[in-house]
Amino acid sequence: MIKIHPTAEVSKKAIVGNKTSIWNQAQIREKAKIGKNCIIGKNVYVDFGVIIGNNVKIENNVSIYHGVTIEDGVFIGPHTCFTNDKIPRAINPTGSLKKSTDWNLSKTLVKKGASIGANSTILSGIKIGKFALIGAGSVVTKSVPDHGLVYGNPAKLKGYVCYCGARILKKGKSKKCQKCKRKITT
């Protein structure tokens, strides 16, 4: 069963998986694909053609624009914004309003299990690796490796994290996480 709040706007041309909840004032555009068992928070905007995997949690006031793919098990904190144009302009050099054919789409991929902290901005054309962790308020301008811990403006690699999110101090060695005891190689 899909739960859609009465104030949410979900295109009939969108695909929404079973057991997904879409909360108040969310907007899901045409050809968007949302997997099973997801939570789409209040006032979330999912642009046309966006792909969202299973078991994804998207907090309130997130904007996800065309060209973004989000894999399974991703967390996106409140007020996060994804961009899709490296050189945004409203008008062409002639002064005419840009049309959809007048700009170049830059695709973004968020891999399985990644977490993005509140108020982050994700610039277009990058990849956020599996189980990476983006600190709150970060501006991500470059791709993030699997299990990478980044934060700041611009976000910089500060270390690595386990599947559980606990910090792992050294790269390149197999280590056992002190928190969950799982072995990980970065």
Higher model confidence: residue 119 or residue 103?
Answer: 119
Task: Kindly name the residue from 5, 66, 79, 147 that is annotated as catalytic.
Answer: 79
Fold observed for domain 3-88+104-185: UDP N-Acetylglucosamine Acyltransferase; domain 1 (2.160.10)
Positive or negative, the Cα torsion across 85, 89, 91, 92?
Answer: negative
Backbone angles phi, psi at 152, to 5 degrees: 110, 180
Please tell me the predicted confidence (pLDDT) of residue 113.
98
Question: 0.85 cut: is pTM over it?
Answer: yes
CA distance linking residue 18 with residue 167, whole number of Å: 34
CA distance linking residue 74 with residue 9, whole number of Å: 23
Strand bridging mode 121-122 / 81-82: parallel
Q: What is the pLDDT of residues 24-52, one digit of tens each?
A: 999 999 999 999 999 999 999 999 999 99
Higher model confidence: residue 182 or residue 84?
Answer: 84
| Domain ranges, ordered by start, for the chain | 3-88+104-185
CA distance linking residue 136 with residue 102, whole number of Å: 33
CA distance linking residue 27 with residue 36, whole number of Å: 17
Q: What is the pLDDT of residues 78-106, one digit of tens each?
A: 999 999 999 899 999 999 999 988 888 99
5 as an active site residue: the answer is: no
